[in-house]
Structure 1
Amino acid sequence: MSSYLSLFLLLLILLRCIFWLFAPPNPDEAYYWLWGQHLDFSYYDHPPLQSWLQGLITAWFGKSLFTLRSLNLLTNGIFFYTYYYILKYLYGDLARRYIWWVILAILASPLYSIMLSLAWHDHLAITLSLLGAYLCIRFLDEYLVNGKGTNWRLYGSAIALSLAHITKYNSLFMTLGLLAAIATYSQLRKLFQDLRLWLCFVIGAIAFLPVFYWNYSNNFLSFRFYANRSVDSGTLIMRLLEPLGFIGISLLMLSPFVAWLLWQGFCNAKGIYKRVALWTFIIPTGLLMVISLFSTALYYWNIHAYLLLFPLLPLAVADSPQPPAPSPRGRGGENLKIFYGMGVFGLLFTSLFVWNSCMFPISAVFGKDGDQDGRMIYGWKEVAAEVQKISNTLPESPLLITSDYRSAAELAYEMQNPNVTAISKRISQFTIWNLENAVKHKGKNAIVISDQWYPLTDEAIAHFDRVTPISNVKIHRFGLYLKTYEIAIGQNYKP
């Protein structure tokens, strides 16, 4: 790797470490952390594995930014180690050189830079999916040679994919892509008559039982949430244009430079690996484009589609995919320029992401509005201190209630109080917890926190006999105004 490419890689790794160690919790990071403090068979927004592990880590090591994102450190290690083994399978000893190119491409992709950094479900889901896909490909390769394949690889793949399914629902796309690759290849299709494959389905069903049980016990709320999510009829023209928007934002967030290199690598590939990589791309991308015709398909739902394409990148940029392949050039050096463009694009995006996460949202420079999600990261120490001060003046410990799930999660994390809740029109995990705790909380007084983005609604105020404003907490960073939190006392809570 050239010195310039090494510099890009080192800077991207440095920015990742700065984020992990210094960025306050993103609202959804705090939200999922809070799930781990309320262990259950599953949750409204996602399956439970990420939160189970998050709860275990917090129980062992306590609260800190490092423990919040320590699972990311583990999954990133497994993720890139799996890529090393895929590259070794494809290119032999050249894997030691190519792994750095692949790591650079992944860190330079905005999609993967975000999802591997944040303590959300995605980093665990794609790590398990990649591991399961690799083991499956090795099994299929052996099966084509000897008609058998190694059992431990097949069952290991089934276990990894099953764990991915109980981490995030879109992990099912990877499994569907693998099954499509098997079903469309005559020499592999007879696997559907193999008892071992059906045992893999049994493993998947057993692993999914907690999620199914939770949904059965809660009127299938989670399944219904995804079935009905973001449905928007719109005009016919708008619906027909939606897939183009999905493709455009997907290319931007994957990185146009990365997308071009992956396409070039795919065109130069061959064999069973290319077939599987094709189907694991086509199935999720095609399904999401169909969904976009009558609903909303978000670009990050397609994160599994590109996983098996990254190991094909050396076929686009190496002088030769076989030894000695001394440097990344490809097509007379044209793709090397794209490689540098990829590094610059990734570095600019990651720098902006880390700045917004650690310093203040760039939008604050241009006014008081914009990027409300980014503004909500900041100020929770000040809000928590004010809430604690007010709480100390009350005769008994009050309920802590906010106007949105994001602010409730941030306050809960800052105060280490898993009983903070939210009253909001938007259904969330807090809605379920509120129903479960209705009798226990009835008649209590509450400290109520709201902001301009999610002010107290008449419906929220109707839960109390009276709501009395107490104070405002204005949040600034480096002299820039971000937002104001309004704190009130609600008397006699009525669920």
Structure 2
Amino acid sequence: MRHQSPSSWAAISICIAALVHFALGFSIEFSVDEAHYALYAKHLAWSYFDHPPLVGWIQWPLISLTSSEGVIRLIPELLWIISVYLVYQVTLEIHRLIQGRNAGYLTTALPSANLCGLMAVLAIIAAPLPHVLAIGLLPDTLLAPLSLGLMLMALRWTRKDSFSLADWIVTGLLLGLAGLSKYTAVFTAFALLLVLLASPKKSWITKSGFWIAVAIALIVISPVLYWNGINDWISFKYQIAHGSGGTWAWRRVAAFMGIQIACFGPLLIWGAFGFLKHCLHGQKRVLIALLSFFAIPFAIFAALSGGGSLPHWTTPAWFCLAPFAGIGLAKAWSMQHRLSIRILVIGQILICLIGFGYVLSGGVNNSGGSSIKSNPIADLYGWKLAGQKAAQLAQVNKVNGIAVQNWTLGSRAAWYAQPLPVFVLDQRQDQFDLWFGQLPVGANVLLINWSGMAFKPPVGGNLAFEECAPLDSMEVIRFGQMLSKFDYSLCRNWQDAGTTR
């Protein structure tokens, strides 16, 4: 590292990681969520059943030109690069804030700002889960850079005597775009409000610029409000039910915390504790308010995890913690903890590389593809050929469309067999009902059954087909091992329109 400056090493590290993402992006098929959000771009709307529309809108230009997964994945790759760059910039701003206002409170001098920025960048690059969002576009991929952008504006507020009209306009746009990305952006808005409240000597609620920012944010998110208003507010109802999960249990909270440590690594945690120990002295109110960009969403998701949650929901929060962790790690580096930091960085990066290799290999399958839990990587292979085969069989047998028995199977089927309609045969309302409607009474369809999530054919009863006859099957083979199997059946005479939903 003596031959390059810390800022140069940060840029080099980002470029190396981006090249790895680029290679992986062209090597694997869409995951269930990627295909689902790519379908958003195919079916442009003001909003959607389960998420706001920006994740679909931003993909529309590329998807209108190509169906290549690798090319479409350039969008999350660019967003990841912007996010890591903003982590570096936010770190410099926090360093400047501490040095400018808190220098008299520091027991020892802070390391250079560029070293702090490098440590923050390495902490993110060495974290396993953010690489997933760098390859596959999720709403959290969008929310991360927007949250960091709002952190930058919050830091600008703390360092300036007053906000200009341009500052308020930018803040309003960032808030609105965050709201178009994911409903949990409201947690980031609360964090920004805390920063405003942490500076009692600065008036803001009486400023016209503040209300202009609020108006801009509301205008930007108005498509979501309009769409929900004409659709019985189904998105909000779904998200409330989805967030609350099932029966609450402490063991789920403990599991959530353990998974978070595994997914984001001890570097970020160690660095954050180092910041709290050595740097949180003068201007505590402002720094704690800035830390709420991490603390508010993480605490809420941890509390909700007792009913069930997904580990990637906290990713924007961890990006917002990285600048503080970078300063804490740089402080530890200057206090001769270099060997420990090197071991953690190298260890976490090795874990990431092992994960990349595991994905490319197709995983380890010990049960012949009988369960997705036995090999979750099998879910990333075979869907393109399976969708093309389904489209051919549907055309030959002249059916009304394709049917699956769980929505997670429908996304890839609808993407790779488009433009055929895909019907999800359950009693749960979802986005597929809005796109393709409910399966008509008497319809004939091609039923796809995947070994990773197998179901018995729905035959007999009030919500079933009169008969389902096997048509064909397809095995997915990678490096000599069978990852999964697709079975196709011709199902005739659907007996119910699904009005009981």
Q: After superposing the two structures, state which structure 1 stretch, 71-80 or 267-276, moved more.
A: 267-276
CA RMSD between the two structures: 3.2
Q: Which amino acid aligns with 2:355?
A: F
How many Å separate the matches in 1 of 2:214 and 2:168?
11
How many Å separate the matches in 2 of 1:447 and 1:77?
42
In structure 2, what is the equivalent of residue 260 of structure 1? 270
How many Å separate the matches in 2 of 1:290 and 1:386?
44
Q: After superposing the two structures, state which structure 1 stretch, 483-492 or 241-250, moved more.
A: 241-250
Q: After superposing the two structures, state which structure 1 stretch, 30-39 or 264-273, moved more.
A: 264-273
In structure 2, what is the equivalent of residue 191 of structure 1? 204
* Counterparts in 2 of 1:246 and 1:2: CA distance versus 1, 3 Å: farther
In structure 1, what is the equivalent of residue 411 of structure 2? 409
Contact 2:87 2:320 in 1 (8 A): no
Determine if the alignment matches structure 1 residue 181 to structure 2 residue 195. Answer: yes
* Counterparts in 2 of 1:492 and 1:458: CA distance versus 1, 3 Å: closer
Residue 106 (structure 1) shift? 0.8
In structure 1, what is the equivalent of residue 330 of structure 2? 318
Q: Which amino acid aligns with 1:170?
A: T
How many Å separate the matches in 1 of 2:94 and 2:391?
58
Residue 212 (structure 1) shift? 1.8
In structure 1, what is the equivalent of residue 387 of structure 2? 384
In structure 1, what is the equivalent of residue 232 of structure 2? 219
In structure 2, what is the equivalent of residue 458 of structure 1? 458
In structure 1, what is the equivalent of residue 142 of structure 2? 124
Q: 5 Å matches for 1:62-461?
A: 62-91=66-95, 98-142=116-160, 146=161, 148-188=162-202, 190-229=203-242, 231=244, 234=247, 239-270=249-280, 271=283, 274-292=287-305, 295-318=307-330, 329-332=333-336, 334=337, 336-364=338-366, 368-369=370-371, 370-371=373-374, 373-394=376-397, 396=398, 398-417=400-419, 419-435=421-437, 443-452=442-451, 453-456=453-456, 458=458
Q: Secondary structure at the match of 1:329?
A: helix
* Counterparts in 2 of 1:174 and 1:460: CA distance versus 1, 3 Å: farther
Determine if the alignment matches structure 1 residue 36 to structure 2 residue 41. Answer: yes
Residue 256 (structure 1) shift? 1.4
How many Å separate the matches in 2 of 1:304 and 1:382?
34
Residue 263 (structure 1) shift? 2.2
Q: After superposing the two structures, state which structure 1 stretch, 214-223 or 48-57, moved more.
A: 214-223
Q: Which amino acid aligns with 2:444?
A: N
In structure 1, what is the equivalent of residue 59 of structure 2? 54
Q: Secondary structure at the match of 1:474?
A: strand
Contact 1:46 1:169 in 2 (8 A): yes
In structure 2, what is the equivalent of residue 325 of structure 1? none
Contact 2:367 2:374 in 1 (8 A): no
Residue 28 (structure 1) shift? 1.1
Q: Which amino acid aligns with 2:54?
A: L
* Counterparts in 2 of 1:206 and 1:253: CA distance versus 1, 3 Å: same
* Counterparts in 2 of 1:455 and 1:240: CA distance versus 1, 3 Å: closer
TM-score of the aligned structures, taking structure 1 as reference length: 0.84
Q: Deviations over 1:276-297 (max 9, x none)?
A: 322222322333344345x334
Contact 1:136 1:154 in 2 (8 A): no
Contact 1:261 1:313 in 2 (8 A): yes
Residue 45 (structure 1) shift? 1.6
In structure 1, what is the equivalent of residue 470 of structure 2? 469
Q: After superposing the two structures, state which structure 1 stretch, 18-27 or 416-425, moved more.
A: 416-425
How many Å separate the matches in 1 of 2:365 and 2:219?
47
Residue 456 (structure 1) shift? 4.3
How many Å separate the matches in 1 of 2:190 and 2:167?
18
- Structure 1, unmatched stretches of 5+, are 320-327
Contact 1:12 1:350 in 2 (8 A): no
In structure 1, what is the equivalent of residue 484 of structure 2? 483
Residue 50 (structure 1) shift? 1.0
Q: After superposing the two structures, state which structure 1 stretch, 73-82 or 33-42, moved more.
A: 73-82
How many Å separate the matches in 2 of 1:80 and 1:9?
8
Residue 368 (structure 1) shift? 4.4
Q: Deviations over 1:110-142 (max 9, x none)?
A: 232222321222111111121122123202321
Identity %: 20
Residue 223 (structure 1) shift? 0.9
* Counterparts in 2 of 1:164 and 1:269: CA distance versus 1, 3 Å: same
Contact 1:84 1:95 in 2 (8 A): no
Q: Secondary structure at the match of 2:154?
A: helix
Q: Secondary structure at the match of 1:40?
A: coil
Q: After superposing the two structures, state which structure 1 stretch, 35-44 or 214-223, moved more.
A: 214-223
Residue 264 (structure 1) shift? 1.0
- Structure 2, unmatched stretches of 5+, are 97-110
* Counterparts in 2 of 1:139 and 1:223: CA distance versus 1, 3 Å: same
* Counterparts in 2 of 1:314 and 1:403: CA distance versus 1, 3 Å: closer
Contact 2:421 2:436 in 1 (8 A): no
Residue 255 (structure 1) shift? 0.7
